[in-house]
Structure 1
Amino acid sequence: MSPPRPFIDPATGEIDRAQILSEAVPLAKLIGVFVAGSLPLYAIAFFGAENSALGVVLALLGEFILAIGAGVVLMYVIARGIRLAGE
């Protein structure tokens, strides 16, 4: 017999909304950490130092934080998917 599929209730065969929410909340928090880390840099770059070299540097630093965050989130999703497939 094949192992049960993630996010599917084995008893009814329907989507398990509780499991989806339990997986989505930590993922949203992880994304929020990186967005909150880059938001002040963008705010200063766009509202405080619009046409200066400092604004460019701050915008690039914000982009770097978001790029690192995207990589971390992707690694989390892959690791969590592997763990769920093994359960």
Structure 2
Amino acid sequence: MSPSPPFLDRKTGTIDWKQVFREAVPLARLVGVFVAVALVPFAFVFLFEDNAALRAMFTVATQFVLAVGSGIVLMYVVSRGIRLADEQ
């Protein structure tokens, strides 16, 4: 018998919601970490309303944190998907 795809219950063929949530919680935490880190320089954008150069610097820093975070989250998703495929 061929292995079942991830997130499907082998007996019924329906979605295994427990496994979906087990995989979604660490992913949501990882995304939350990078959002929280990005909020720090983003808060400084509003603190320095008068200084355009500092606002631009902190805006770029916020975008950099979000870009790096997106890359790390994407690498996590791909590596976790490969690991799940190997487990099946």
Instruction: Give the TM-score category using the shorter length.
Output: over 0.9
Long gaps (5+) in structure 2 = none
Shift of 1:84: 0.5
Using the alignment, how far apart are the partners of 2:79 and 2:47 within structure 1?
40
TM-score (norm 2): 0.93
**1:44-66 CA distances to partner (integer Å, 9 max, x unpaired)?**
10x21135201110110010000
**1:11-52 CA distances to partner (integer Å, 9 max, x unpaired)?**
11110000000000000000011100010111110x211352
- 3-state SS in 2 of match to 1:73: helix
What residue identity is the alignment partner of 1:4? S
Worse overlay, 50-59 or 32-41: 50-59
What corresponds to 2:64 in structure 1?
64
Long gaps (5+) in structure 1 = none
Worse overlay, 12-21 or 51-60: 51-60
What corresponds to 1:54 in structure 2?
54
What is the aligned length? Answer: 86
Q: Structure 1 segments of 4 or more deviating over 3 A?
A: none
Q: Percent identity?
A: 55
TM-score (norm 1): 0.94
What corresponds to 1:24 in structure 2?
24
Using the alignment, how far apart are the partners of 2:2 and 2:62 within structure 1?
45
What corresponds to 2:43 in structure 1?
43
Greater relative contact order (CA < 8 Å, ≥ 6 in sequence):
2
